[in-house]
A and B are shown apart, each in its own frame.
Chain A
Amino acid sequence: MKETSCKILVIDTSSEACSLGLILGNTVWVKHEILPRQQTQFILPMIDALLSEAKVSLPELTAIAFGAGPGSFTGLRIALGVAQGLAFAHNLPVIPLSNLQALAQQAYELEGHDQVWVGTDARMGEVYWNSFAKDAQGIMQPQGEDTLSEPKNVLFHPFQSPVWGMGSAWGALSKQFPEAFQLRPEFCTHESFTCVKAMLILAQWAYGQGEALEPEASEPRYIRDKVAKKKPSKKWSKLK
């Protein structure tokens, strides 16, 4: 990881894990635990422990990054809610990160894959997906928007050279895209160090690009926006 003066805390609770990363100069700190339905109990104590181990206080930070999605809706809001609370207190900016991009960056950091198709399980027979390719700075750049669709409607970027497949949806996608010759089904929950490290790399890059926001302005990226059916409107009875 490149040396930097940025001091960034990253919070991710988009899956069943509670993942934290902190970069101070060229030192990286990571805390990661699989805590299904218990993230609310452990996230602040873990942050507290991380900050004291690294001997840094919140006001010294440059920014707070968070996994903005796609992922568990409640999890995305826990990460953002905590990031908002911490950042608002000390007038720090907040950096939203794509969890699909984090997986692509992880594939690059871990094994050097520079063209990656990412698909994650969105349940209800759908997947979140996007394609990523490495740029000159070593950042896995999206080749489109993070998208939600049925597996049969996925349109990955047609890379010319070998492609790596990544994410929890590969069970559903591998038959359709056999050219992604190696498949990694794991989600952020495994290879944790690399994933949080990948998020820190993306956070530094995003901060440099001016993508940090005021905490008030940051939102999760749910991708799935249809979450309820509208009732057919009944005619109002006319009452005198």
Chain B
Amino acid sequence: MQVLGIETSCDETGIALYDTDNGQLHHRLYSQVDIHVEYGGVVPELASRDHIRKVLPLINEVLKAAKINKDQIDGIAYTSGPGLIGALLVGASIARSLAYALNIPAIGVHHMEGHLLAPMLCDHAPEFPFVALLVSGGHTQLMEVKGIGEYELLGQTLDDAVGEAFDKTAKLLNLGYPGGPALAKLAEQGDNTRFKFPRPMVDRPGMDFSFSGLKTFAINTIAKHGDDAQTKADAARAFEEAVVATLMIKCRRALDHTGYKRLVVAGGVSANVRLRCALNELMQSRQGQAYFPPQEFCTDNGAMIAYAGAQRLLAGQQDSDLTINARARWPMEELNIAERQINIKTED
């Protein structure tokens, strides 16, 4: 089955074609970061305007690369939430009407389920069950994953998502937008012994996170010790160490809680090298294994949506009517196979 995947939930247009028979994948990604950089953040209206320019041309490129015609597509998966409502509606409108016109099934996919399943696109894909750590600009969640559509939320952030904390702290250090990766780069030049940032919420039980205090701590550190380059690098290093240590402590709790030996890490922040090292070490020490998506699928992309949608289509699910589904908010726990039959109403 050839499944077309369409991702337009934020500032990246991702299109992919996934063949369930042989695992072959073709994908294209267009990042809008250059459009938003001068605004210091994603401008939702501009994101929507750009998505509608890019979706069809990228579909054409993917079909060409895969050497198939549009009438050979067997199903269409699209990100139906969570995300920017206007941006989601672009992908959903095109996907749903294209599927209708081609007389093939369509399925709305949860963006974070896409991320969660992205490590399945590796040669060494994890088996179920596993603990999943989802870390991105919009999410920080620990999930117990028993199978596709069987997710239990173990813990989540009570304020900033971890990627958001990276970006906000980077902004305070004048590292531009989006500054998360720049902050991680700066941290490489930092001294890890100079400052020690707090590890939020590790002194109490549970698997929830809180990251908003770290940026304040970074501000105060700079205010107290000066904003010279080395101090900034040292603060960046201490910030990153605190984030990684906190995530590691909560992952350990989740592994203890579930008794699982596999940890899947996904979302934009899963590209962070220090986080990857720490979690690899953690899993080695527990005779388990950590799984990460290929670097190219850490960011938003169409491949993960095509893959996640394909699994659901193979399980016999599909959008039950012709409604164009888009939801700005969509708790992941609402996802399970039985509930998918209920239709999702559009929010605006």
A interface residues (Cβ-Cβ under 8 A, vs B): 37-38, 40-41, 43-45, 47-48, 58, 73-74, 77-78, 80-86, 88-90, 215-216, 219-220, 222, 227-231, 233-240
Contacts of A83 in B (CB 8 A): 97
Name the residue of chain A whose CB is nearest to the CB of B51: A77
On whether the beta carbons of A237 and B53 are closer than 8 Å, the reply is no
Quote the shortest CB–CB distance from A216 to chain B (angstroms): 4
On whether the beta carbons of A88 and B93 are closer than 8 Å, the reply is no
Q: Mark B216-230, 1 if CB is under 8 A from A, else 0.
A: 000000000001010
B interface residues (Cβ-Cβ under 8 A, vs A): 38-40, 43, 45-46, 48-49, 52-53, 55-57, 59-60, 70, 86, 89-90, 92-102, 173-176, 186, 189, 227, 229, 232-233, 321-326, 345-346, 348
CA distance A224 to B232 in the complex (A): 41
CA distance A43 to B89 in the complex (A): 13
On whether the beta carbons of B324 and A40 are closer than 8 Å, the reply is yes
On whether the beta carbons of B97 and A41 are closer than 8 Å, the reply is no
Knowing A81-B93, A84-B56, A85-B98 are in contact, say whether A231-B40 is a contact too (CB < 8 A).
yes
On whether the beta carbons of B43 and A44 are closer than 8 Å, the reply is no
On whether the beta carbons of B52 and A80 are closer than 8 Å, the reply is yes
On whether the beta carbons of A77 and B48 are closer than 8 Å, the reply is yes
Ordered by A's residue number, 12 sampled pairs between the chains whose C-beta atoms are within 8 Å are A45-B322, A78-B324, A84-B55, A85-B96, A85-B97, A85-B99, A89-B101, A222-B49, A227-B43, A237-B173, A237-B229, A239-B189
Contacts of B49 in A (CB 8 A): 73, 77, 220, 222
On whether the beta carbons of A216 and B60 are closer than 8 Å, the reply is yes
Contacts of A84 in B (CB 8 A): 52, 55-56, 93-94, 97-98
Quote the shortest CB–CB distance from B140 to chain A (angstroms): 26
Contacts of B97 in A (CB 8 A): 44, 81-86
On whether the beta carbons of A81 and B101 are closer than 8 Å, the reply is no
CA distance A239 to B237 in the complex (A): 14
Among A44, A216, A220, A231, the residue within 8 A (CB) of B323 is A44
Among A48, A77, A233, A235, the residue within 8 A (CB) of B90 is A77
On whether the beta carbons of B323 and A74 are closer than 8 Å, the reply is no
Knowing A45-B321, A239-B233 are in contact, say whether A40-B326 is a contact too (CB < 8 A).
yes
CA distance A238 to B45 in the complex (A): 33
Contacts of A45 in B (CB 8 A): 321-323
Among A48, A85, A227, the residue within 8 A (CB) of B93 is A85
On whether the beta carbons of B98 and A89 are closer than 8 Å, the reply is yes
Knowing A77-B48, A77-B93 are in contact, say whether A219-B38 is a contact too (CB < 8 A).
no
On whether the beta carbons of B100 and A239 are closer than 8 Å, the reply is no
On whether the beta carbons of A85 and B94 are closer than 8 Å, the reply is yes
Closest 7 A/B residue pairs (Cβ): A81-B93, A85-B97, A89-B101, A44-B322, A85-B98, A40-B324, A231-B40
CA distance A32 to B56 in the complex (A): 28
Given contacts A73-B45, A230-B38, 5 further A-B contacts (CB under 8 A): A77-B49, A82-B94, A85-B95, A216-B56, A237-B174
CA distance A178 to B337 in the complex (A): 63
On whether the beta carbons of A81 and B94 are closer than 8 Å, the reply is yes
On whether the beta carbons of B52 and A228 are closer than 8 Å, the reply is no
Most buried by A among B45, B90, B100, B233: B100
Contacts of B48 in A (CB 8 A): 73-74, 77
On whether the beta carbons of A88 and B98 are closer than 8 Å, the reply is yes
CA distance A136 to B141 in the complex (A): 65
Quote the shortest CB–CB distance from B167 to chain A (angstroms): 14
On whether the beta carbons of B229 and A44 are closer than 8 Å, the reply is no
CA distance A73 to B47 in the complex (A): 12
On whether the beta carbons of A239 and B232 are closer than 8 Å, the reply is yes
Knowing A82-B97, A85-B97 are in contact, say whether A239-B229 is a contact too (CB < 8 A).
yes
Contacts of B57 in A (CB 8 A): 216
CA distance A91 to B95 in the complex (A): 16
CA distance A220 to B90 in the complex (A): 12
Contacts of B232 in A (CB 8 A): 237, 239
On whether the beta carbons of B45 and A227 are closer than 8 Å, the reply is yes
On whether the beta carbons of B101 and A230 are closer than 8 Å, the reply is no
Among B59, B186, B325, the residue within 8 A (CB) of A239 is B186
Name the residue of chain B whose CB is nearest to the CB of A235: B174
Quote the shortest CB–CB distance from A35 to chain B (angstroms): 11
Contacts of A73 in B (CB 8 A): 45, 48-49, 86
On whether the beta carbons of B93 and A40 are closer than 8 Å, the reply is yes
Name the residue of chain B whose CB is nearest to the CB of A238: B229
Among A41, A86, A216, the residue within 8 A (CB) of B101 is A86
Among B43, B70, B186, B233, the residue within 8 A (CB) of A88 is B70
CA distance A32 to B96 in the complex (A): 21
On whether the beta carbons of B52 and A44 are closer than 8 Å, the reply is no
Name the residue of chain A whose CB is nearest to the CB of B8: A81
CA distance A90 to B60 in the complex (A): 14
Knowing A74-B48, A219-B52 are in contact, say whether A88-B90 is a contact too (CB < 8 A).
no
Name the residue of chain B whose CB is nearest to the CB of A11: B97
Quote the shortest CB–CB distance from B20 to chain A (angstroms): 21
Knowing A40-B89, A41-B346 are in contact, say whether A85-B101 is a contact too (CB < 8 A).
yes
CA distance A90 to B71 in the complex (A): 9
CA distance A228 to B47 in the complex (A): 12
CA distance A82 to B101 in the complex (A): 10
